[in-house]
Amino acid sequence: MVQSKNPKSEPLLLRGGEVADLIGCSRAMAYRLMQRGVLPTVRVPGGKSVRVPREALIEWIRENTRIGPTTSVAGGMVMRRPER
**Domains of the chain: which residue ranges?**
11-80
Q: What is the pLDDT of residues 19-38, one digit of tens each?
A: 999 999 999 999 999 999 99
Q: Is the pLDDT of residue 8 over 60?
A: yes
Helix (H, G, I), strand (E, B) or coil at 73: strand
Q: What is the pTM of this model?
A: 0.68
Taken in order 30, 79, 59, 3, the sign of the CA dihedral is negative
CA 13 and chain centroid, separation: 11
The residues pairing with 77 across neighbouring beta strands, listed in sequence order, are 74
CA 36/CA 34 separation, integer angstroms = 6
CA 63/CA 49 separation, integer angstroms = 26
CATH class of 11-80: mainly alpha
Q: What is the pLDDT of residues 39-78, one digit of tens each?
A: 999 998 888 899 999 999 999 999 988 876 655 555 555 5
